A = this chain, B = another copy of it.
């Protein structure tokens, strides 16, 4: 491939200009993406590999070939581009995560997820920052400031939710999936927010007042990002319910859903909030309301189109990271010796391992203590898997590292170059080595005959042949009597002591409360399940052609 490219580059006179180089890069990437998908399919049954690792390795090999054929000159074209990552690749992944997540399990484990995703990041951040600021100077890297060490702490606290999800199955291990996945999303958001907070710190007059301010702005960001996501999702549901009630137009519906989801992300970024959190909650709200207000064809299309977009973006990121590993300029600029590099690399790996262990086990115990219901208990084997599955570092780490240690792609000094190359090394190693070991580890710790016992949930796993629409139904513990009640609280504040219920099963109580509120106030305005009557077996895919014939 690269040989052909070089041939083309040299033979075509116009090939040298910037435009054509760009076309060539796109062509190379699209070809590699196709190759990844085909290879990923062929390797699907393989126990050690997954699509991320395939893409990473394929990208790495292509990087070598490009580097060799271009005599080291073209490594710079393929340099990691923060903007591309944060503005175009990350949003579809996180949105799809919110859109397809099983809401019931997510909210059932909400406490544990928040503990891991928020408190956990702070613990890991403290350990990695402290550890690296203690060890790095001894390895000869004296020029890093306290701010850089704090940045390193956040960079290596961001787990890679993309890769993690490929090894866990929502159907086989629902509790683990929900925990690790939920943590991944919240963790990404926390890391990015914390990273921004660290970058804004001024260390000249570092008072406790400032720490208080920082925590204040942190919670403000968390809260307002969530509210923005929910608001955008509800707006989309309202628009589609109001405008398209009588005459459905599939193309417009899909376009509105896609654009408003993206709008929530980009609006959050514009307002300096956390786009990741916003688009995640927007996805949840859209799957709960908007998705039920559209035609059958739109439902099928959005479900698969969003998943496909996310899939392509994921594969693209891993290809990109793989190709970017050979950023020769950085490697040349980092004046560290092999020993030093190895020291930095292994220090960080150890700190990541310790930093994650330091919060997974204590916080699991705390979560078990707080939530007494049997189906959210986290066993010791599961704790080990949670610890291990969150060790991988990915594109978020690289993006943050580039943001901290480069100015428009170029490292400022050898120390910064070393920080970048070490980050790339850690990401590659953790994704490939830790990633490869995850599936066997799960198999060893939770053999299939144990899974059904350990990872139980209150609802039976849905049979595979059931229509996928059931995934979105979320029966949510309500019986038909309660659903029939239309007055807020009427199903809850009944003869049963509500205080007693709160103490016995807080999650379930809050959930019932929400359910009543949803039925009484939200659904009448925003639609949602049951808005468009769905009769199984009578899919009328052609219905929108009737209403919108002129648009080809």
Contact = CB atoms under 8 A, between A and B. Distances in A.
B305 A8 contact: no
A27 interface: yes
Interface string A279-315: 0000000000000000001101100110110011000
A307 B545 contact: no
Interface string A349-378: 000000000000000000000000000000
26 contacts: A8-B271, A19-B83, A22-B87, A27-B263, A30-B259, A34-B256, A34-B259, A38-B256, A41-B244, A41-B249, A41-B252, A165-B552, A166-B550, A166-B551, A169-B549, A170-B549, A171-B549, A250-B307, A298-B304, A300-B301, A311-B551, A464-B542, A464-B545, A464-B546, A466-B542, A467-B541
A498 interface: no
A251 B8 contact: no
A196 to B, nearest CB: 10
B542 A539 contact: no
A252 B310 CA distance: 11
Contacts of A297: 300, 304
Nearest to A181: B552
A304 B250 contact: yes
Contact of A87 (B26, B31, B263): B26
B251 A552 contact: no
B100 A552 contact: yes
Nearest to A20: B270
A267 B27 contact: yes
B546 A465 contact: yes
Contact of A550 (B14, B83, B169, B537): B169
A60 interface: no
Given A304-B298, A541-B467, A542-B467, A87 B23 contact: yes
Given A23-B269, A301-B304, 4 more contacts: A22-B87, A41-B244, A41-B249, A42-B243
Nearest to A177: B552
Interface string A152-172: 000000000000011011110
Contacts of A14: 272
A251 B308 contact: yes
A181 to B, nearest CB: 8
Given A34-B260, A542-B468, A549-B464, A255 B311 contact: yes
A214 interface: no
A251 B464 contact: no
Sorted nearest first, the 10 A-B pairs with minimum C-beta distance are A301-B304, A254-B308, A305-B305, A468-B542, A30-B263, A169-B550, A300-B300, A27-B266, A301-B301, A539-B539
A31 B300 contact: no
A181 B83 CA distance: 38
A312 B259 contact: yes
Contacts of A34: 256, 259-260, 263
A239 interface: yes
Contacts of A305: 254, 301, 304-305, 308
Contacts of A251: 304, 307-308, 311
Nearest to A264: B30
Contacts of A24: 270
A243 B38 contact: yes
A552 B301 contact: no
Given A243-B38, A270-B23, A304-B250, A31 B550 contact: no
Nearest to A311: B251
A524 to B, nearest CB: 22
A220 to B, nearest CB: 15
A96 B552 contact: yes
A254 B307 CA distance: 10
Contacts of A308: 250-251, 254-255, 258, 301, 305
Contacts of A272: 12, 14
Contacts of A542: 464-468
Interface in A501-552: 537, 539, 541-542, 545-546, 549-552
Nearest to A546: B464
Contact of A552 (B42, B170, B465, B550): B170
A237 to B, nearest CB: 14
